[in-house]
Amino acid sequence: MEFSGKRALVTGGSRGIGKAISVALCEAGAKTLQVDLEDWDKTRSIVKNVGNIDILVNNAGYHVSKNFLDTVKESLDKQIDINIKSVFNVSQVVAKSMISRGTGGSIVNISGVRSVKPSPRACGFSICKAGLDMMTKVMALELGPHKIQVNSVNPTYVGTEETNESLRKNAEVLSSTIARHPLGHVVSLSDVTNATLFLLSDKSSMITGTSLFVDVI
């Protein structure tokens, strides 16, 4: 998959999944930019000023592990701000630029398996990921006539540096994590990266509005 001459914007690209995607895009020839998302207006200004974007990966996410009854407003607000509103905000700016240039483009939202699989202590996060999947579908429907593809990648538990270290310290959790997947291994960063690059590439030119699960459903 080749991305020479393309400019890619990756949110939350400093570590984990976002960093892996940024590195892979650069290795495939793209020029990659990163932004922070703390402020709505500041983010819009920054994204407008970074210039033309051909590829957008909305990867930034925020998860608070709390029971439904223990979740406070501030926690829910922050999860919605980062997992939903920031995607809406950045995508709106980038899509308008793509439309004005008439070049089309590709957007991938990093969602998760919790958009369809309920899990304890993840109500706020699951709500956000379910909403993100529907946002992806509506964006695909509205932006498709402008030659903009929009899809999501929905991984399960991913073996990042942090999570792998945690698993190594807990053999029981590692064993149960592997046992949950019929292929018998923890999902790796490269598994998620490869799925993302496929949806960003010309290889998926007739795929839009879909959620690609890197997991068993």
Tens of pLDDT along 111-124? 999 999 998 999 99
The C-alpha atoms of residue 67 and residue 40 are separated, in whole angstroms, by: 28
pLDDT at 161: 66
| DSSP summary character for residue 84 | I
Q: How far apart are the first and last CA of the chain?
A: 27
Higher-confidence residue of 78 and 177: namely 78
Q: Which domains does the chain have, with CATH numbers?
A: 7-158+188-214 (3.40.50.720)
The values of phi and psi at residue 134, to 5°, are -70, -40
pLDDT at 71: 96
Query: Do residues 160 and 189 make contact, with C-beta atoms less than 8 angstroms apart?
Result: yes
Work out the angle at residue 145's Cα, subtended by the Cα atoms of residues 143 and 151, and round it to the nearest 5 degrees.
Answer: 40
pLDDT at 61 over 70: yes
Higher-confidence residue of 135 and 42: namely 135
pLDDT in tens, 11-45: 998 889 999 999 999 999 999 887 768 789 999 99
Mean pLDDT estimate for the chain: 92
